């Protein structure tokens, strides 16, 4: 039979081991949060930057904007409007769009059906998990809102898979059906991308060697020739995250791994304490 001294010694050992494990977990989490704090500051600076006020007309001329910004454009109904934004590993993007006809616009004859499509860096159309991707605007209505939530971006996928991968994502907004007489009317379009970090539940082994981003920024700089360094920096940061690609190495899987190791060590210590022979 175990004596009271053995039980007390085991309880003290268990408490010290548990305290050490908790300190280790808190220290690891604190270090990760300290590493991510500059990224959060950079994100706030990104949101405060001036959002673009125009849209491209093709994939090659797509206007870059950052997540959290609200990109706007003055166009005509029937135009193809293109934007591009970056999405990194473990992020789930929700793209929202709003099309509004000014009060001075001429009366429309019928309804116009608007559609928002999102393409990855390989120009593969990504399906929407949920959201109103296509919506009709009645003849007597002035505004319509669209929304598309994509799947979580994966760090790596099989060649035959169409899973979303880190890189540039193109947004296309246009009219898909309507009367010919209603095309060409002035409209104001707004596009915004909101990111949600899914966490370790979406983490997978393996990573891409490079993100799927086109060489659009380099081409635009070479065409401009005398572009300033500040303009080049802003152009480059518009198609990649502020803190770089896949810079967020921290996931909650680290917490589960450390907690599992601590519990395993405690179980081993407890088993040895209970199974060892009693001292005379």
What residue numbers bound the domain in which 140 lies? 54-259
Rounded CA separation 14/27 (Å): 20
pTM of the model: 0.69
Rounded CA separation 73/82 (Å): 10
**Sequential pLDDT tens for the chain (280 residues):** 445 455 456 556 555 655 555 555 555 545 444 444 333 333 444 444 688 999 999 999 999 999 999 999 999 999 999 999 999 888 999 999 999 998 877 778 889 999 999 999 889 999 999 999 999 999 888 999 999 999 999 888 777 788 899 999 999 999 999 888 888 899 999 999 999 988 666 666 667 778 888 764 433 433 444 444 443 333 444 577 777 777 555 666 667 777 888 888 888 888 877 787 766 5
Residue 31 lies in a domain: no
Give the 3-state secondary structure of residue 32.
helix
Residue 90 lies in a domain: yes
Mean pLDDT (the chain) is: 76
Residue 80 lies in a domain: yes
Residue 7 lies in a domain: no
Strand partners, 24: none
Domain count, the chain: 1
CB 81 within 8 A of CB 159: no
- Other beta carbons within 10 Å of 63: 21
Rounded CA separation 15/273 (Å): 14
Q: Strands 134-137 and 186-197, how do they pair?
A: unpaired
Rounded CA separation 111/170 (Å): 26
Rounded CA separation 131/170 (Å): 17
Residue 217 lies in a domain: yes
CA distances to 120, 132, 165, 169, 198 from 151, rounded to whole Å, are: 11, 15, 10, 12, 10
- Strands (DSSP E) contained in the chain are 63-64, 70-76, 81-87, 91-100, 112-119, 134-137, 143-149, 167-177, 186-197
Residue 10 lies in a domain: no
Rounded CA separation 194/189 (Å): 17
Rounded CA separation 187/78 (Å): 10
Residue 193's nearest CA partner among 38, 81, 83, 48 is: 83
Residue 221 lies in a domain: yes
CB 270 within 8 A of CB 14: yes
The pLDDT tens digits of the residues spanning 123-141 come to 999 999 999 999 999 988 8
CB 56 within 8 A of CB 77: no
């Amino acid at each position: 039979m175990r004596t009271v001294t053995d039980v007390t010694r085991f309880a003290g050992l268990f408490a010290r081991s548990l305290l050490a494990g908790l300190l280790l977990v808190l220290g690891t989490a604190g270090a990760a949060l300290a590493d991510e704090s500059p990224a959060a500051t950079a994100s706030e600076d990104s949101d405060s930057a001036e959002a673009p006020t125009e849209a491209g007309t093709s994939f090659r001329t797509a206007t870059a904007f950052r997540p959290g910004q609200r990109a706007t454009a003055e166009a005509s109904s029937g135009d193809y409007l293109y934007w591009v934004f970056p999405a990194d590993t473990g992020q789930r993007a929700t793209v929202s769009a709003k099309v509004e006809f000014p009060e001075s616009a001429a009366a429309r004859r019928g309804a116009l059906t608007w559609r928002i499509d999102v393409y990855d860096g390989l120009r593969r159309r990504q399906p929407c998990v949920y959201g109103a991707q296509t919506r009709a605007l009645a003849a007597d209505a002035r505004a319509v809102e669209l929304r598309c939530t994509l799947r979580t971006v994966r760090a790596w996928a099989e060649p035959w898979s169409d899973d979303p991968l880190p890189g540039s994502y193109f947004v296309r907004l246009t009219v898909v059906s309507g009367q010919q007489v209603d095309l060409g009317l002035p409209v104001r379009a707004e596009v915004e991308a909101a990111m949600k970090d899914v966490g370790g539940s979406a983490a997978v082994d393996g990573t891409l060697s490079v993100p799927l981003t086109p060489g659009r920024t380099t081409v635009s700089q070479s065409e401009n020739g005398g572009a300033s360094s500040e303009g080049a920096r802003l152009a480059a940061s518009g198609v990649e995250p502020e803190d770089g690609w896949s810079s967020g190495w921290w996931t909650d899987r680290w917490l589960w791994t450390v907690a599992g190791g601590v519990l395993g060590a405690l179980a081993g210590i407890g088993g040895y304490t209970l199974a060892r022979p009693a001292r005379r």
